[in-house]
Amino acid sequence: MIDTGSVYRIIQIQVVITVTIALIMLVFQSMSSAISAFVGGAIGFLTSLIYAKKMQAPPGSDPRTILRAHYKAEAYKMVFTILLFSLVFTQFKEISALPLFAAYAATIAAYWLALLK
C-alpha cells in the first residue's frame, strides 16, 4: 500500500517550490516569467495529485494489483502532463518557456528531496 502521508508531503513540497520560484521570477524578472514559472510548477504538482488520487490499491493487495494500480496512475499522470503542456502552449501566448520548464523540473526534483527524509 502506498504511504499517502508521504505522497501528500511531496505535493506540499512541490507547491512550496512552485510559489518560491514564481516569487523569485516576479522580483527579478517579470510578471510574465512569474506566471510561466507558476504554471510550470502547477503542472508538476497537479499531475502528482492526479497520481496520488489514482494510485489506489486495497490494503493487503498482492504485488500485481499494486503494480497495476501504479501503472494506471502513472499513465493518467503522463496523459495529463501532455494535455496541460499542450493547453499552456496553445492558449497562453506570452508564456516564457525557460521559467515554465525550470519550475516544472524543480517540482519533479521534489521526489529526490523526499528521499532525504
Determine the pLDDT at residue 46.
Answer: 95
Determine the pLDDT at residue 65.
Answer: 87
Determine the pLDDT at residue 103.
Answer: 97
Q: Which domain holds residue 44?
A: 4-115
How far apart CA 62 and CA 60 sit, in angstroms, is 7
Give 3-31 pLDDT, tens digit per residue.
Answer: 667 788 889 999 999 999 999 999 999 99
Give 23-79 pLDDT, tens digit per residue.
Answer: 999 999 999 999 999 999 999 999 999 998 888 777 778 889 888 988 999 999 999
Question: What is the b/e burial string over 52-82, where b = at least 16 CB atoms within 10 angstroms of the residue's CB?
Answer: bebbebeeeeeeeeeeebeeebeebbeebbe
In total, how many domains does the chain have?
Answer: 1
